[in-house]
Structure 1
Amino acid sequence: MAKTEAIPFGDFMSGDYKRKKKDFKKVSKYGLVLPAALLPLSKVSAAPTGEVVAANAVSDAIKGQIVNAFDPVVELMIALSLPIAGVMITGGALMVMIGMNDRGYGLLMKAGIGYVLVQMSPLFIDLLAGVGAAV
């Protein structure tokens, strides 16, 4: 059965627990063998300085780029929504005229609701970005 070893959190985050297990040796450009304790620490394995850094999964600049990348698609959907809704409304009105009231009114209702939702899509995207920034 393997023995469980408790590692202090600070040692784990700085990477010191690896150095305690193994004695790393590196050869410098002059051919000298130096123990790992004498080598400079990298930024990743440096000890914490107490400085508070915001750790966002996605930075604000990347969020802005993602939102801006979808702008042409959203603009295309908005531009196409009026002609498509117009065709659907015309089809619904023709169905009402020929006596297919249920299908005609359903098509008119779906065209109206769809048009309004497509026109409001930029508002929904901004709302989602605001909620994401607040979290």
Structure 2
Amino acid sequence: METIAFNDFMSGSYKKEKYYASKKSKEKSNVGKVIRRVGTSISIPLLLAKPAFAASPTAVPVNAATEFAGHTAMETLAHALDPLVNILVALSFPVASVIIVGGCFFFMIGRSEKGWSSIMNAGLGYVLIQISPIILNMLKDIGSAF
């Protein structure tokens, strides 16, 4: 696709070879200007910048990079459920309290076996939820040992 000025189109000068020769030389001069502008705009910040990677001349082994990436991924996965665990730990006391009070009501209506069962289950659930962060940390340490 070619763009032609309206005056050139109406006068018919776009059909002459002289028009194309002057247009091509004009495009070449514009291309040179653009290249110079882009080149200077790229090179000046690079020349003025402080060298960022010149401090360590030795290369990092590939094994260290993959080990770091694996360790980072393991840490991310290990702590992905921490907010959920923290919410469960925070809610365990109020929920256990309500269930224990409910167990006491079972005593009042004469169903003592159901009352003892609910109180023991609430106590056991509360203790297990409170120690669940410790259990999860132990599993994480065991998994990272291998």
TM-score between both structures, scaled by the size of structure 1:
0.56
- In the alignment, what sits opposite 2:39? none
Runs of 4+ that moved beyond 3 A: 51-56
Q: Which consecutive residues of structure 1, in runs of 5 or more, have no partner in the other structure?
A: 1-50
Match of 1:103 among 114, 117, 138: 114
Q: Residue 134 of structure 1: CA displacement? A: 1.4
**Larger helix proportion of the pair:** 2
- Partner Cα distance (1:129, 1:59) in 2: 14
Taking only aligned residues, the RMSD between alpha carbons, in angstroms, comes to 2.1
Match of 2:139 among 114, 128, 134: 128
- In the alignment, what sits opposite 1:4? none
Deviations 1:48-67 (A, max 9, x none): xxx894887x8121111112
Q: Confirm whether residue 71 of structure 1 aligns to residue 71 of structure 2.
A: no
TM-score between both structures, scaled by the size of structure 2:
0.52
What is the one-letter code of the residue matched to 1:101? S
**Larger strand proportion of the pair:** 1
Q: Which consecutive residues of structure 2, in runs of 5 or more, have no partner in the other structure?
A: 1-60
Among all aligned residue pairs of Structure 1 and Structure 2, give the percentage whose two residues are the same amino acid.
38
Question: Equivalent residue of 2:98, what SS?
Answer: helix
- Partner Cα distance (1:81, 1:96) in 2: 23
What is the one-letter code of the residue matched to 1:73? L
- In the alignment, what sits opposite 1:93? 104
Paired positions, count: 84
Instruction: Give runs of aligned pairs for residues 14-29 of structure 1, distance below 5 A.
Output: none
